[in-house]
Amino acid sequence: MNEREIDAASRLEAEVLRHALRIAAEEASIVVVKSAHSAMIVEGADACAGILDATGRLVSLSTATNLMHASSLRCSLPAVLADHPLETMRDGDVFVMNDCFRGGIHANDLLVFRPVFIAGRVRFFTGTLIHVSDLGGSSAGGIVPGATDVFAEGLQLPPVKLYAEGREVADLHNLIALNSRTPDRVMGDLKALVAGAHVAARRLEALAGEYGPAALDRGVANYIAGTERRMRDELGALTPGVYRGEYAIDDDGLDLDRSPVVRVEVTVGGPGAPVRLDFSATDDQARGAINAGFSQALTGATYAVRCYVDPSIPMNEGCYAPIEVVFRKGSLLDPKWPAACGGRVVSVTAVCEAVVDALSQARPDRATAASAVIHPFTLAAATGGNPWLLLSYEYGGLGARASSDGPSATGSFFLGGRNVVPQVEPLEARLPLVFESQSMIPDSGGPGRYRGGLGVETRIRVLKDCEVAIRSERVRFAPRGRDGGRPGRSGEQFAVLPDGGTRPLLPKAANQLMYAGETFVLRTSGGGGLGRPEERDAAQIEADLVEGWVSPEAARRDYGFTGVKASPSAKPSGAAAGREVGR
Amino acid sequence: MSERCVLGADIGVTFTDIVLTRGDGQLHVVKQLTTPGAPEESVLGGIRRLLETTGVDPASIERVVHGTPLATNAVIEHKGARVAFVTTKGFGDLLRISREARVEDDRYDLFFEPSPPVLERDAVFEIVERCDARGEVLVGFDATQARAEAARIARYAPEAVAVCFLHSYARPDHEEAMEAILHAAMPDVRVILSSRVHAEMREFDRASTTLHTAQVAPLMARYLARLREGLGRLGIQGPLHIMESSGGVMSAAVAAERAVATLESGGAAGVMAAARFANHYGEKRVISFDMGGTTAKAGVVHDGRPRVVRELHVGGRGSYGGRRAGTGMPIKTPTIDLAEVGAGGGSIAWLDPEGVLQVGPRSSGADPGPACYARGGEAPTVTDANLVLGYLTPERFAGGTMALDPARAHAAIAKSIAEPLGTSVVRAAWSIHEMANANMASAVHVVTVQQGIDPRDHVLICFGGAGPMHAAGLASRFGLSHIVAPPEAGVASAIGMQATDLTAEHGHTHWIQAADLTVAELSRQFARALEVAREKMGLDDDEASLAGALEVERLVDARFVGQSHELSIPYAPAPGQEAAELAALPARFRARYRELYGIESTGAVEYAAFRVRLRIPVARPPLRRSAREGTDAPAAEWRDVWFGADKASRTRILTRGDLAQTGTLSGPLLVESDVDTVVVPPGWSATVDEVGSVHLRRE
């Protein structure tokens, strides 16, 4: 065969291998989720699995799991390789780490790697990661917004051996168990992570047997190179120029008079990479725990750019190559050791908003208003005879899009769908809690030609004294609107006392006492609106009134709409609808 | 009664298949165009035709088994009945707040559109009441408020009411009190209680299951009433059984209340066809493989029974036929574990932006269909590739009812695949064929390897118009050495339905540590589950006389303390051995856990639910060669056929009837019938048995 024929043959056959590589990662993540012990993953699905080559390049990534983790496996494998050179690795070795200054995320997210030996050499790694329920630190469950350094956030692990040639390293297991408030769960989770890594490794070994090591390497290299070509083509279609975007964070929970800003300068079509993101102008790192380790900041930056290319492009190393990202050491996005990084989601979502802010100028047809972020919280009584812990979170509304309303109550950007929020009944069965209600918040979506999505209110009565830890964001500055759209309603959190009075709670603080009989209320924010509310279609306003997403008062106030009185089972008629003029 | 016949009626998108099995096993088949607005007419019309042509006495039909997509269509097209949803105060938004996963491409799409809410606000009613997980009352049921709400509900004028209170699995009496009030206010409106439909923990899943039941129940009841009346007019007295997703059937009398149990019954019937043939041949380990026009489905049948899971999603997204966990709405009902991929005869081959060949998931459908149908389709499909490779005889496709155009198949593959890549049309066609095999292999992988099952010792039983063309290629990927291609592959579902048992299942949540569970408590839990399961079986006297003895299977859902995914472990003590059996459960769970996840664990075990599965075996009609066999046009001829991209093999083409005459032959061969072509590559041999199945064996 000549070269063209060889190329044709490889294109005819490539997808079979690529599919197998994706399935291997997928299968590993399924095993982790199904066999894990921590409520965060077992009720939700906060797991991720990937395949990497021996140089640390990402080959494939599970497709149904949390993308917050997308870059972490590839960013942290080099640390494993630095501490454990390839030639020292043995078949059956398994490594674990979480150091956020070397590619990790934060203490509670454990990354597990297993070298895959083919013909006597390490050719690949399989990696799995999940959020475990507790790994120490000054608040049960690992939400420590007040941490001023990484030591307060939990046990730190450099890349260390969890299994040596298939045998459990008991010393390390004992060390981890002793540092967790929920040792049984964390030990169970470690087993799940290792099982997932094994499953993917077995698939790779089988593929090597089927294709031969050389053809497998070639297939992987072509896969990554092809992805890179597609990324370059798509990014090349963006209008060249320099676009600036920024997003302000409420605060770090400690220095309340300082609102750090993430700033990005996006250069499209410059001399270097097709897209260059320079975050150098971002504010300095914070004292509180909202800093993002570089792998997390990179996740946010690449994720946001990927939203402007064909979504079917696979996730592998080829996605990273055409995007140049610059962070400034000592800034929020690449802080100096030992800054606290547990609340990195606050900065990373601001990274996404800043990039979207910039690229909305390059692609007005793809413009998007700002969204709510995740509101993580724990309720726990960690000491005393019967320790218990709820680690959960809630989502809010997404920003309106240039041609549609923002979806309500779902994860923004890489955070995925609300299927990861646990259902109420199993939580009540395990924990001394009674959920009083869970409801959409009418009028929380930012008014606009396209309306922002709605936030959610959750009310949880605690039956025993406990502590609440919260890491909310967009509670001082509501998600902003765009192009004349108004901001969504900001989130809030407070306690309701048995006598009906209320007591404020801090949005970013751990160890806040709650007493038996009190109710913890969490409201997530609504997404920003896009376009002037006056331009909203009357039929859409009517539909919102019927569904209760917008109240009659708000329809009048925000949209100047007077046509319809929404009452149960009374369908609005188009003829009666009208709008006040002169607004 | 001189003869005992069984009817199977399966409604498909285009055709309704009616299969009659005579007392001696003789099969008669009729295909009737489906009438979408009144599907019972196509069933009744087909049966009338069949009775006329065969002269069978309607009184000799002892059973009609029916598979209907009514529930599926109603749910997917949002055409269910008008339903009021009643829930605990504070949780009115339970089903309106999304729990949808975002998977695959949706994850990178800032413009993704969530599924619309399943309920409008006016349909939701909140009742003052609250229980906890132990079934203790936190807020008493407020009957006065409930009566006021019932009056409002009556004004909403629903066709059915779904009631789901928090923790009703632990204490159903508030739901039952609500039911009484609703009945008083609206005597003719059906009320569906979550504690009866699905008495298990997780309010969203239970509410979704209850809501969908209520949306479908009135439609199902009306439809079955019309159908039963029509059957009566035809003189058919035997009971009507409705195919379920679990592979069992239920009495039409209870099918309205159990309507969501039919949501995946189409796929289930196909697997039951594999089970029927597996039982006929005494094969204990079987993979069922059904390849149609748009998708291929794989399932596993062990010891004559398919593997059953307890959840499906409707309106799901992503690959595997929308079966991605977390997408769509969950329905908790026993469902045959099927993996589905978008690879069928009509699946379109295309080059992605990188120039790499892809097959599916887009399909040309029946119209315009593959390029070779010459109905305007220009995209190359799997069927076009199979035609180019020589597997199909153009003038005898679909029994000669539709001639295929090889030139168009050739041109489509050349234009879209071969020319852009600079390769030959045959090489491109071979790759399309192989890619379809690889896609289908991933479905087989999901139901075997991912479940800890080694596929290599399984027999592959294949159906669907395209199944027998791809079976050998698929089998080779897993090292399988025996394939069965049963006769009448085009009406496999209707054939499968005829060999089904009456089944019902019920489980309820009850959390208890393994160490704390006594035999007395266990018996109490199973007795409770058994009582409801019997109600769900709902047999009338006719069926009781038809049926054999009731079989009861007991299962405990077990997990390690703190987990929330469970495995069902059978509890089947010999008389007097209850204590020993109970003591053996944790070890049995650990062994299953190790098999699935490869994890050795000594952690404490807890139980989460207790279930009972009921089965009433129904006598199977015997299998015999189809009446149509032998009517296939004789085709003793030879042509060049491609079993690889490099060279063609001179290949003999014959019918199943011919092969029966010749005895075992070695490949390459093509064995044709009116409905399918069995491709026998070199290295395989083929033989036909007494019922008309072709057996392929690796040589």
Quick check: B153 and B182 in contact, CB under 8 A?
yes
Q: From residue B281, give the alpha-carbon distance in Å to each of B6, B304, B459.
A: 21, 10, 11
Name the residue of chain A whose CA is nearest to B167's CA: A425
Residue B10 pLDDT greater than 50, yes or no:
yes
Range B356-368 average pLDDT: 85
Flag if B565 and A35 touch (Cβ within 8 Å).
Answer: yes
Burial of B285 (0-12, 13-18, 19+ CB in 10 A): middle
Burial class (CB in 10 A: 0-12, 13-18, 19+), B454: exposed
* Mean pLDDT across B310-337: 77
CB contact under 8 A, A16 and B564: no
Backbone angles phi, psi at B395, to 5 degrees: -80, -10
Chain B hits for A188, Cβ within 8 Å: 560, 562-563, 601, 603
Element (H, E) at B53: helix B39-54
- Decide if B356 and A227 are in contact by the 8 Å CB cutoff: no
ipTM: 0.92
Q: How far is CA B166 from CA A423, A553, B487, B508, in A?
A: 11, 32, 51, 14
- Of A480, A363, A346, nearest to A415 by C-alpha is A346
| pLDDT given for residue B228 in this prediction | 96
pLDDT tens by residue, A266-286: 999 988 889 999 999 999 999
Return the pLDDT at B546.
Answer: 52
The CB density around residue A453, as the number of other CB atoms within 10 Å, is 33
Query: pLDDT per residue over B434-479, tens digit each?
Result: 999 998 998 898 889 878 889 999 999 999 888 999 999 999 999 9
What is the C-alpha separation between B181 and B150, in angstroms, rounded?
Answer: 7
For residue B392, give how far its alpha carbon lies from the nearest alpha carbon of chain A (Å): 23
The Cα B593–Cα B585 span in angstroms is 12
Chain B residue numbers with beta carbons less than 8 Å from the beta carbon of A403 are: 111
Cβ contact, residue pair B111, A403, below 8 Å: yes
Contact check, Cβ <8 Å, B93/A424: no
Which of B256, B315, B326, B310 is CA-nearest to residue B117? B315
Residue B299 in this model has a pLDDT that exceeds 90: yes
pLDDT digits (tens, 9 = 90+) for B36-77: 889 999 999 999 999 999 999 999 999 999 999 999 889 888
- Mean pLDDT over B292-313 rounds to 90
SS3 readout for B225-266 = HHHHHHHHHCCCCCCEEEECCCCCEEEHHHCCCCHHHHCCHH
Question: Is the pLDDT reported for residue B599 higher than 60?
Answer: yes
B421 touches chain A (CB under 8 A): yes
d(CA A200, CA A84): 21
Q: How confident is the model at residue B324 (pLDDT cuts 50, 70, 90)?
A: low
Quick check: A404 and A380 in contact, CB under 8 A? no
**Per-residue pLDDT at B542 exceeds 70:** no
- Who among B92, B359, B599 is closest to A195 (CB)? B599
Amino acid (1-letter code) at residue B622: P
Q: Which of A198, A309, A418 sits opposite B100 (nearest CB)?
A: A418
Closest CA to A331 of A304, A299, A369, A297: A297
Q: What pLDDT is stored for residue A573 in this prediction?
A: 40
User: What residue spans define the domains of chain A?
Assistant: 3-211, 238-366, 368-536
Q: Tell me the pTM.
A: 0.92
The B residues from 619 to 678 touching A (CB cutoff 8 Å) are none
- Nearest residue of chain A to residue B113 (CA atoms): A407
Alpha helix stretches (DSSP H) within B55-202: 70-76, 143-156, 173-185, 194-197
What contacts 24+ positions apart, CB below 8 Å, involve B200-203?
Answer: B200/B169, B200/B332, B200/B507, B200/B508, B200/B509, B200/B609, B201/A425, B201/A426, B201/A429, B201/B133, B201/B167, B201/B169, B201/B509, B201/B608, B202/A423, B202/A425, B202/A426, B203/A423, B203/A424, B203/A425, B203/B91, B203/B94, B203/B164, B203/B166
DSSP one-letter code for B401: T
Residues A127 and A25 sit within 8 Å (Cβ to Cβ): no
The confidence score (pLDDT) of residue B596 equals 80
Q: Which residues of chain B lie closer than 8 angstroms to A194, CB-CB?
A: 599
Q: State how far the alpha carbon of A537 is from the alpha carbons of A451, A528, A577, A579, A583, in Å.
A: 11, 17, 11, 10, 15
At A569 the pLDDT is 43
CB contact under 8 A, B103 and A439: no
Residue A272: the pLDDT is: 80
Q: How many inter-chain contacts (A to B, CB under 8 Å) are there? A: 225
Within 8 A of A30 by CB-CB distance, chain B residues are 450
Does residue B621 have a pLDDT over 70?
Answer: yes
CB contact under 8 A, B100 and A419: yes
- The whole-number pLDDT of residue B548 equals 61
| pLDDT-based confidence at residue B544 (cuts at 50, 70, 90) | low
CB of B456 closer than 8 Å to CB of B430: no
Average pLDDT of chain B is 91
Looking at the complex, does the CB of residue B435 fall below 8 Å from at least one CB of chain A? yes
Strands B665-666 and B684-688: antiparallel
The pLDDT of residue B325 is 67
Residues of A in contact with B156 (CB under 8 A): 569
Q: How does pLDDT run along chain A (583 residues), one tens digit per residue?
A: 677 777 787 888 898 899 889 889 988 888 888 777 765 444 455 678 999 999 999 999 987 666 777 789 999 999 999 999 999 999 999 999 999 999 999 999 999 999 999 999 999 999 999 888 899 998 888 889 999 999 999 999 999 999 999 999 999 999 999 999 989 889 988 999 999 999 999 999 999 998 999 999 999 999 999 999 999 999 998 999 999 999 999 999 999 999 999 999 999 998 888 999 999 999 999 999 999 999 999 999 999 999 999 998 999 999 999 999 999 999 999 999 999 999 999 999 999 999 999 999 999 999 999 999 999 999 999 777 788 988 888 999 999 999 999 999 999 998 888 988 889 999 999 999 999 999 999 999 999 999 999 999 999 999 999 999 999 999 999 999 999 999 999 999 999 999 999 999 999 999 999 999 999 999 999 999 999 999 999 999 999 999 999 999 999 999 999 875 444 444 444 334 445 443 3
Asked if A326 and A297 count as a contact pair (C-beta separation under 8 A), the reply is: no
Do the chains contact at A45 and B422, CB–CB below 8 Å? Answer: no
DSSP string, B449-493: GGGT--GGGPEEEEESSSHHHHHHHHHHHHT--EEEE-S-GGGHH
Beta carbons of B177 and B145 less than 8 angstroms apart: no
Put simply, the chain B residues between 179 and 198 with a CB less than 8 A from any chain A CB are none
Q: What percent of chain B has pLDDT over 70?
A: 95
Q: Residue B543: is its pLDDT beyond 60?
A: no
Nearest CA in chain B to A544: B121
